Amino acid sequence: MTENDIRISQYPEQIAVVRLGSGAMVPEWAESSSVFSITATATHTTLVCAARSVPKKARHVRSFTAFAALGTPDLEKPGTLASLVAPLAAAGISVVPVATFDEPWLLVPQNDASAAADEWRRQGFTVAPAKPA
């Protein structure tokens, strides 16, 4: 699969990454969005969700824009994530990756979303607004 086979969809809502304690239940305020992810380790639980209802007292980083890399179904293919992240790192743009079975999602600080999309286009990727499901 080449870069030209990957289509990147940009989602409009604001996303937050929230740190919860080890074994924490999903809080009632956690709202689903284009991407909703729960990752638990022995030391903590991380929640990726809509930023609009995350309480200020919660330990979190907000104001991410979510991008989904469509057309990347091979989870074992080396280099797919690197081909998406490396150009942004070279441009000084931070990325938080989140994976589903079907595609990698990339969370980019909202202030850098346009620059990220422009950089991916320079690398030969197609970037477009997401179509609602």
Domain ranges in the chain?
Answer: 3-129
Q: Average per-residue pLDDT in the chain? A: 91
Over residues 104-118, the pLDDT tens digits come to: 999 999 999 999 999
Per-residue pLDDT tens over the stretch 66-91 = 999 998 667 777 888 899 999 999 99
Give the C-alpha separation, 126 to 131, whole Å: 14
Torsion angle of the four alpha carbons 112, 116, 117, 123, in this order, in degrees rounded to the nearest 10: 160
- Phi and psi torsions of 8, nearest 5°: -105, 125
CATH no. for 3-129:
3.30.2130.10
Measured distance CA(75)–CA(1) in Å, rounded: 12
Q: What is the pTM of this model?
A: 0.91
